[in-house]
Structure 1
Amino acid sequence: MLRAYLFLLIFVPLTFAFAFSAIIATLFDPTGRLYHGHARLWSLISLRMAGVRLTVIGQELVPGDQPVIYMSNHQGNFDIHALFRAIPYRFSWIAKEELFSIPIFGHSMRRAGYVPLDRSDGRQALKSMERAATLIRAGQSVVIFPEGTRTPDGNLLPFKKGGFLLAGKAGVPVVPVTINGSREVNPSKRIELYPGTISVRFGAPIPVTDGSGKGREELLERVRTAIAAGLEN
C-alpha cells in the first residue's frame, strides 16, 4: 500500500506537468509528433517508477505503411502506458468523453487530436465515429478498448460494437492486441501496486472486407478470438 501511495505522490503531478508541456508542444508542432513523444516518455517513466518490466511480442506484425485500428483487451490502469511503449508508430486514442473534462489533461488530449466518445448519446457517439473514420482515412492509426472498460477478473468482457462500426467505415485492418500482467501489477478497483511484468502481444492484422452488419459481426468474432488466444491463464 505504501508503494502505491508513494507512486501516486509523484505520478499525479508528473502527469499534469507532462500534459501541460505537451500542450505547449502542440503550439510549435501541429503534427502531434512532439505530443506523442511526450506521452511515450511519460509512460516510460511511469512504468519504471512502478517497477514494471515490459515485454513485446509480434511487433514485426504491425504494418508501418498504412493506418490501422488497434483493438486491445483492457486489464488495468497500466495498459495505456504499456501500449504507448509497445506500439511502434504514432497513434491516437478513442476515449470516453469523461476523460476530456479533466483540467489540463483533457485539454491536452483534445490538442493532440484524440477523439472523445460520448457513450450516453447514440447520435453523439455516431458523430464521434465519423470524425474518427475521417482521421483514420487521412492516415492516423487509433487505439480502442472494445470491452469499453477494465475487466474485473481478467476474462474478456462482451465487446462493444462501436469499434467494429468504425472499422467498417474506415476500411482499414484491425490489429488485435493482448495485454497480460496488468491486473497483477495493479489489481482492479484497488490501490495496491506490485512490481511485475506486463506483456503486449500483437496478432496478425485482420482485414475489413465487409462493412455490413453481418461483416461487422464476423470481424468482432475474429478479433475476439485473436485477442483471447493470447491470454495467459
Structure 2
Amino acid sequence: MNKFLGYILTPVFYFFFFLTLIIFQPIQWVCFRLFGYKAHKVSVDYLNFFLTYCQVFLGNSITFVNQQELPADRPVIFVANHQSMYDIPGIIWFLKKHHVKFISKIELTKGIPSISFNLKYGGGANINRKDSKQAVSEIIKLGRRMKDNNWSAMIFAEGTRAKDGLMKPFHVGGIATLLKAAPDALIVPIAIENSWKIVQYGAFPLSCGEKIRWTVLPPVPIAGLNPEELTLAAEQAIRKFLKQ
C-alpha cells in the first residue's frame, strides 16, 4: 500500500518540495545581500521548516525528540547515522538555535535552487573529495568559525547513506579535524529512524505512511577521550538506541 500510494502522492510531494526551493532562492539572496548573516539564517531555517513538513504530502509523520539541555555558549558536534537526504531539513529546523553547519561536497554549491546558495554562503565546509588538503583546510576553517561564533556542525560519520537503515562503521576523520580547531566542542549523537524507508523504492515512487524520527541522545563525556574513542562512543550510543 505504501508503494501504491507513492505513485499517486510522489508528484504532489515533489511539486511542493521544489516549489519551496524556488521560492526561497530569491528570499535567501535578499536576506544575505541586504541584511547579512542573521537574516539569511532565519530564511534558511524557514526553508527547512517547509522542506521538513513537505513530508505530510506523502502521509509521513515527523517526530523530533530532544530532551537534552545543550549549552548555547559552546560549539557542538552533532554526530548521526545517515539514511537519506531527508535527514537534513529536520536537523536544521529543530536545532536552529545551534546554528548547525554541514560538511558538503563542493559540487553541491552549484545548480540546486536554495540549497546551493545556502551551502555557498551559510558558513559550512564545502570540500573537494579529490583534494584531501583542500578538504582538511575547509573543515579546519569551519571548526574555527564554530569556536568563534558558538556554531555547531553536523557529521554523518558513516561517510555515505545507509540505504537499508543498517548502520555502517563511523569514520573519525571529520570529527578529529573539527576538534583540532574547536577542542572544547561537545559531542552529541543523534539517532535517525525510518528516513531510508522514504526512498526504499528509489526516487519514484517515494514511500508513504512512514514515521520519520530524530532523537538527540545524551552528550558523550569528552574528558580524557581521544577523537577515535569519542567517535566510537557516539556510534555505540546510536547503535544501542536503534538496537543495531
| Both structures adopt the same fold (TM-score exceeding 0.5) | yes
- The answer to whether the 8 A contact 2:194-2:212 is kept is yes
1:22 partner letter: Q
1:230 partner letter: F
> C-alpha deviations, 1:190-230, integer Å up to 9, x for none?
4223122111111111244468xxx2211121111011122
* Map of 2:4 onto structure 1: none
> C-alpha deviations, 1:40-95, integer Å up to 9, x for none?
33334423333322222233343333220111111123111221233252322221
User: 2: CA distance between counterparts of 1:103 and 1:152?
Assistant: 23
Which of 162, 167, 174 pairs up with 1:156? 167
1:174 partner letter: I
CA RMSD of aligned residues (A): 2.3
User: 2: CA distance between counterparts of 1:168 and 1:112?
Assistant: 20
- The answer to whether the 8 A contact 2:87-2:195 is kept is yes
1:224 aligns with 2:232: no
* Map of 2:103 onto structure 1: 94
1:132 aligns with 2:142: yes
User: 1: CA distance between counterparts of 2:106 and 2:170?
Assistant: 19
1:47 aligns with 2:58: no
Give, in angstroms, the shift of residue 135 of structure 1. Answer: 1.1
Give, in angstroms, the shift of residue 231 of structure 1. Answer: 1.4
Q: Which moved more, 1:219-228 or 1:161-170?
A: 161-170
* Map of 2:131 onto structure 1: 121
Aligned-partner SS, 1:75: coil
After superposition, the Cα gap between the structure-2 partners of 1:157 and 1:53, relative to the gap in structure 1 and judged at 3 Å, is same
Give, in angstroms, the shift of residue 137 of structure 1. Answer: 0.6
Report 1:176-215 matches (<5 A): 176-187=189-200, 189-191=202-204, 192-209=206-223, 215=226
Q: Percent identity?
A: 23
Q: Which moved more, 1:220-229 or 1:56-65?
A: 56-65
Question: How high is the TM-score relative to the length of structure 2?
Answer: 0.84
2:63 partner letter: T
After superposition, the Cα gap between the structure-2 partners of 1:5 and 1:222, relative to the gap in structure 1 and judged at 3 Å, is same
4+ residue runs over 3 A deviation: 207-211
1:37 partner letter: D
Question: How high is the TM-score relative to the length of structure 1?
Answer: 0.87
User: 1: CA distance between counterparts of 2:46 and 2:81?
Assistant: 24
Which of 2, 10, 22 pairs up with 2:8? 2
- The answer to whether the 8 A contact 2:9-2:57 is kept is no
User: 1: CA distance between counterparts of 2:26 and 2:58?
Assistant: 22
- The answer to whether the 8 A contact 2:68-2:218 is kept is no
Q: Which moved more, 1:142-151 or 1:104-113?
A: 104-113
Give, in angstroms, the shift of residue 126 of structure 1. Answer: 0.8
* Map of 1:15 onto structure 2: 21
> C-alpha deviations, 1:92-124, integer Å up to 9, x for none?
222122211225431332122222122221101
1:73 partner letter: N
Give, in angstroms, the shift of residue 232 of structure 1. Answer: 5.3
Aligned-partner SS, 1:60: coil
Give, in angstroms, the shift of residue 6 of structure 1. Answer: 2.5
* Map of 1:85 onto structure 2: 93
User: 2: CA distance between counterparts of 1:91 and 1:98?
Assistant: 20
> C-alpha deviations, 1:132-151, integer Å up to 9, x for none?
11111111111121112211
Which of 155, 158, 161 pairs up with 1:147? 158
* Map of 1:65 onto structure 2: 73
* Map of 2:36 onto structure 1: 29
